[in-house]
């Protein structure tokens, strides 16, 4: 019999092994002289071990077990209760063994915090009572904040409207073409009428004012102004204008780089450069250029013979020529009938940020008032612009069809009473690769005469109308074309668009046209205050879900947070400040413009949300089955690991819903007269 009777067995923090034995101790009996006489086995015992220790040499109980009684049997080391340890924790070895429950443990990562091994997000959630109570409180807080947000916004907007109701100052330019600015009380100033009486001709700049194709003029002057300009000096003027309008290579390089990284910033960069170019052009024509190309002495002396203007989107510009008053010719300026057919080019390119629109300034309205009453023309332009809002780049064939139908059912019947007709037309200069769209204004008499001359009695208007000379400037040479329909694809001139020629329109697509199913111009739905309230709720919810998603990614690693935020740099953060700026903007026009920028940021941030989802998916499903590390399941009370996708998916759906609400909000801001979309033409003209 072997017995170890230890004199002193240390416990607790002062524990150290009482003995370190290498080798084996045998207590079995020895062999006898004969095989049947084998000695019996002996015994090997030791002193009873205190709590936390077991065995012959009083060793520490294994990790994950505890021993709260005196004894040496290993069976006295019981497993620690499974309910006492979080599932993100592991047991740790304690010096002297574990003598009582709960057994000591530590979290599997520094990202989890004791005692429950929660992430920062989970600590926040369980501080407020758990997932469900936290969710209810969050919804209530968001609704209350949204109400406060909406009330503050409405007071801000209403106060701005009170300040903005002052009379328009003399010299301010009234834009009658924007649909929601239409008013029968808006009349042109006397100075504008006098200015239009000296108007000679308008030349449209070629090109959409992009970095690849900036604005430019053709060197050959149109026939309409050859009698009032010196051709050689005009060529020099055109050279200077084209140099000023051209962009530097680095401007386009920055735009390309920003388009890849953050498209909203690329659009803002392009608009800022467009604005700068237009300012330089206007300053050059207004004060820097000596107007030496004009024959009029008075025009050269007063710098009043040339004026440049552009549409609000800065994609279409035109140069107006005026008489100086000393020409002493009774046939100048030409009467409006001599200017017909008159091409009017649409501004914009049909995209979400720059939809097609007809800008009818005071000069144009004054000229056409000789044929059509100004109120009728204002109403026609407002209705046409309302229809043009719905035209989408990349879907011209289908969306232009409704515009043509509206012109035939609403526009031309009213204009016909005054002997005027308009047709949708396509314009493409020989020196420009871009195609522009607009309307062609002509008289009923011209239409009948041209139709009879072509012996095409069944056709209401000539199929093709050439309005451009070989130099690339738009001119009014009304020459009917009798060629085949497919001839329009090869002819570089203005063409009246009819139902048959729609199929040959070139569908150009860009980044915005690819996401047109999310952001596009729609008809107004009304309930502006309710729509604004819902947008406020979604905007605050977007910010909350964004922060929760980033906290969720932080529970994985900082790398995932970096990827979600910088795949498209900071696009996941910018929608909230952009939305606040849009909702608290002065005036419907500025608010609509900033809301479009907000929509652009919101759609761009979807890429970041998808990246966040992919990071979570790869982390959870990509780890090996034996080493899956749980990280965040706040919404499942049982703390299973199957709901990691809730925050990214909720954020994605929130942004998609925002995009639709923003479309309605923009429509409500821009179209306050719902009769503009009335199917009843009589109701349209009576409103």
Q: Are residues 623 and 564 in the same domain?
A: yes
In this structure, the answer to whether residues 580 and 620 fall within a common structural domain is: yes
Predicted confidence band at 432 (pLDDT cuts at 50, 70, 90)? low
Residue 626 has pLDDT above 50, yes or no: no
* pLDDT for position 600: 94
Indicate whether 177 belongs to any domain.
Answer: no
Residue range 1-39, pLDDT digits in tens: 777 777 778 877 777 777 777 777 777 777 766 666 677
Reading the block at residue 140, the tokens are 């209530």
> Is residue 423 located within the same domain as residue 435?
yes
Query: In this structure, are 553 and 497 located in the same domain?
Result: no
Least confidently predicted of 71-85, 160-174, 515-529, 633-647: 160-174
Q: Within this chain, do residues 143 and 270 fall inside the same structural domain, yes or no?
A: no
**Residue (of 20, 10, 11) closest to 98 by Cα position:** 11
Task: State pLDDT tens for residues 553-597.
Answer: 888 888 989 999 998 888 999 999 999 999 888 888 889 999 999
For 374, the domain range is 184-195+335-510
Of 510, 532, 552, which one is at a domain's C-terminal end?
510
The pTM score is 0.79
Q: Are residues 564 and 627 in the same domain?
A: yes
* Residue that wins the pLDDT comparison between 325 and 603: 603
Do 219 and 316 reside in the same domain of the chain? yes
- Return the percentage of the chain with pLDDT > 90, whole number: 37
Question: Would you call 475 helix, strand, or coil by DSSP?
Answer: coil
Q: How far apart are CA 339 and CA 553, in angstroms?
A: 66
CA 173 – CA 58 distance, rounded (Å): 97
Say yes or no to pLDDT of 452 above 50. Answer: no
Choose one of 510, 540, 575: the last residue of a domain: 510
Q: Looking at 314-318, 437-441, 470-474, 500-504, which range is the least confident one?
A: 470-474
| Predicted pLDDT of residue 483 | 34
Q: Is the pLDDT of residue 664 over 60?
A: yes
Place of tokens 């009029």: 296
**Number of residues that make up the chain:** 687
* pLDDT higher at 256 or 334: 256
* 172 domain-assigned: no
What per-residue confidence (pLDDT) applies to 162? 45
Say what the pLDDT of residue 174 is: 42
Residue for token digits 């040339």? Answer: 306
Question: Is there a contact between 635 and 131 (Cβ–Cβ < 8 Å)?
Answer: yes
Got the DSSP string for 621-660? HHS-TTS------TT-TT--SS-TTHHHHHHHHHHHHHHH
> Do 120 and 98 lie in a common domain?
no
Whose structure tokens read 């072509």?
454
Mean pLDDT of 70-74: 88
> Which two three-digit tokens encode residue 13?
């923090």
What is the spatial distance between Cα 98 and Cα 87, in angstroms, rounded to a whole number? 20
Residue 535 lies in a domain: yes
Of residues 188 and 339, more confidence is placed in: 339
Structural domain contains residue 517 = no
Same structural domain for residues 390 and 461?
yes
Q: How would residue 493 be classed by pLDDT, with cut points 50, 70 and 90? A: very low
Q: What is the mean pLDDT of residues 78-85?
A: 89
- The number of distinct structural domains making up the chain is 4
Q: What DSSP line would sit under 239-301, residue for residue? A: HHHHHHHPPPHHHHHHHHHHHHH-HHHHHHHHHHHHHHHHHHHHHIIIIIS--TTBS-HHHHH
Tell me the per-residue pLDDT of 362-398, one tens digit each, with 9 for 90 and over: 888 888 888 899 999 999 999 999 999 999 888 888 8
Q: Looking at 241-245, 282-286, 493-497, which range is the least confident one?
A: 493-497
Q: What is the DSSP letter of 30?
A: P
Q: Is the pLDDT of residue 291 over 60?
A: yes
Contacts of 417 (CB under 8 A, 6+ apart): none
Q: CB within 8 A of 682, min separation 6: which ones?
A: none
Rounded to the nearest integer, the mean pLDDT of the chain is: 80
Q: With 90 as the cut, is the pLDDT of residue 111 above it?
A: no
Structural domain includes residue 23: yes
pLDDT of residue 360: 86
Q: Which of 19-23, 281-285, 444-448, 449-453 has the lowest mean pLDDT?
A: 449-453
Within 10 angstroms of residue 30's Cβ, the number of other Cβ atoms is 9
Q: What is the pLDDT of residues 88-108, one digit of tens each?
A: 899 998 888 898 888 999 998
Q: What is the rounded CA–CA span in Å between residue 598 and residue 583?
A: 10
Cα separation, 284 vs 240, in Å, equals 9
570 assigned to some structural domain: yes
Higher pLDDT, 672 or 182: 672
Assigned domain for 684 exists: no
Categorize the per-residue pLDDT at 450 as very low, low, confident or very high, splitting at 50, 70 and 90. very low
Q: Which residue has the higher pLDDT, 172 or 306?
A: 306
Q: Of the candidates 279, 305, 330, which is a domain's last residue? A: 330
Q: Looking at the domain assignment, is residue 136 inside a domain?
A: yes
The answer on 214 and 133 residing in a single domain is no
Is 214 found in the same domain as 189? no
User: How many Cβ atoms are within 10 Å of 624's Cβ, its own excluded?
Assistant: 6
Q: State whether 463 and 533 are in the same domain.
A: no
């Amino acid at each position: 019999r072997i017995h170890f009777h230890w004199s002193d067995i240390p416990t607790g923090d002062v524990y150290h092994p009482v003995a370190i034995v290498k080798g084996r101790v045998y207590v079995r009996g020895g062999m006898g002289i004969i095989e049947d006489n084998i000695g019996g086995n002996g015994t090997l015992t030791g002193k009873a071990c205190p709590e936390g220790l077991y065995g012959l040499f009083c060793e520490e109980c294994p990790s994950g077990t505890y021993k709260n009684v005196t004894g040496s049997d290993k069976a006295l080391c019981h497993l620690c209760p499974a309910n006492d340890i979080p599932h993100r924790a592991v047991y740790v070895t304690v010096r002297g063994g574990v003598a009582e429950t709960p057994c000591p443990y530590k979290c599997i990562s520094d990202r989890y915090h004791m005692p429950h091994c929660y992430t920062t997000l989970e600590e926040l959630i369980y501080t407020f009572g758990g997932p469900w109570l936290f969710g209810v409180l969050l919804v209530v807080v968001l609704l209350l904040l949204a109400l406060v947000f909406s009330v503050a916004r409405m007071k801000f907007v209403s106060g701005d409207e009170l300040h903005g109701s002052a009379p328009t100052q003399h010299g301010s330019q009234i834009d009658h073409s924007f649909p929601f600015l239409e008013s029968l009380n808006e009349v042109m100033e006397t100075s504008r009428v006098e200015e239009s009486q000296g108007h000679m001709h308008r030349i449209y700049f070629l090109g959409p004012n992009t970095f690849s194709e900036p604005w430019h003029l053709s060197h050959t002057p149109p026939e309409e102004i050859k009698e009032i300009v010196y051709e050689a000096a005009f060529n020099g003027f055109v050279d200077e204008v084209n140099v000023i309008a051209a962009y530097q290579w680095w401007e386009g390089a920055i735009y390309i780089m920003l388009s890849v990284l953050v498209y909203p910033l690329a659009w803002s960069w392009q608009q800022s450069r467009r604005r700068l170019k237009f300012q330089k052009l206007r300053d050059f024509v207004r004060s820097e250029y000596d107007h030496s190309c004009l024959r009029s002495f008075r025009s050269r002396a007063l710098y009043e013979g040339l004026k440049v203007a552009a549409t609000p989107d800065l994609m279409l510009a035109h140069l107006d020529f005026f008489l100086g008053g000393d020409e002493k010719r009774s046939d100048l300026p030409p009467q409006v009938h001599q200017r017909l057919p008159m091409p009017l080019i649409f501004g914009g390119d049909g995209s979400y940020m720059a939809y097609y629109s007809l800008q009818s300034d005071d000069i144009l309205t004054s000229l056409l008032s000789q044929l059509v009453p100004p109120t009728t023309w204002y109403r026609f332009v407002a209705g046409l612009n309302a229809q043009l809002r719905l035209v989408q780049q990349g879907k011209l064939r289908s969306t232009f069809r409704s515009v043509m139908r509206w012109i035939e059912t609403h526009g031309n019947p009213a204009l016909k009473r005054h002997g005027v007709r308009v047709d949708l037309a396509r314009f493409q200069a020989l020196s420009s690769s871009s195609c522009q769209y607009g309307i062609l204004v002509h008289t009923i008499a011209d239409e009948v005469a041209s139709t009879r001359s072509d012996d095409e009695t069944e056709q209401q208007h000539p199929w093709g109308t050439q309005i451009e000379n070989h130099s690339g400037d738009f001119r009014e040479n009304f020459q009917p074309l009798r060629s085949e329909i497919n001839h329009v694809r090869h002819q570089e001139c203005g063409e009246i668009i009819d139902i048959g020629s729609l199929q040959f329109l070139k569908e150009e697509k860009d980044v915005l046209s690819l996401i047109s199913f999310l952001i596009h111009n729609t008809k107004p739905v009304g309930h502006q205050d309710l729509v604004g309230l819902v947008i406020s709720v979604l905007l605050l919810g977007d910010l909350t879900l964004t922060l929760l998603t980033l906290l969720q990614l932080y529970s994985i690693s900082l790398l995932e947070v970096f990827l979600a935020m910088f795949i498209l740099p900071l696009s996941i953060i910018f929608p909230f400040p952009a939305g606040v700026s849009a909702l608290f903007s002065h005036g419907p026009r500025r608010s609509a413009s900033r809301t479009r920028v907000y929509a652009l940021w919101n759609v761009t941030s979807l890429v970041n949300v998808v990246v966040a989802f992919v990071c979570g998916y790869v982390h959870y499903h990509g780890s090996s089955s034996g080493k899956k590390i749980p990280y965040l399941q706040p919404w499942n009370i049982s703390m299973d690991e199957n709901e990691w996708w809730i925050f990214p998916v909720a954020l994605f759906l929130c942004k998609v819903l925002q995009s639709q609400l923003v479309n309605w909000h923009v429509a409500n801001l821009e179209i306050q007269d719902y009769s503009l979309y009335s199917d009843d033409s009589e109701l349209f003209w009576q409103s």
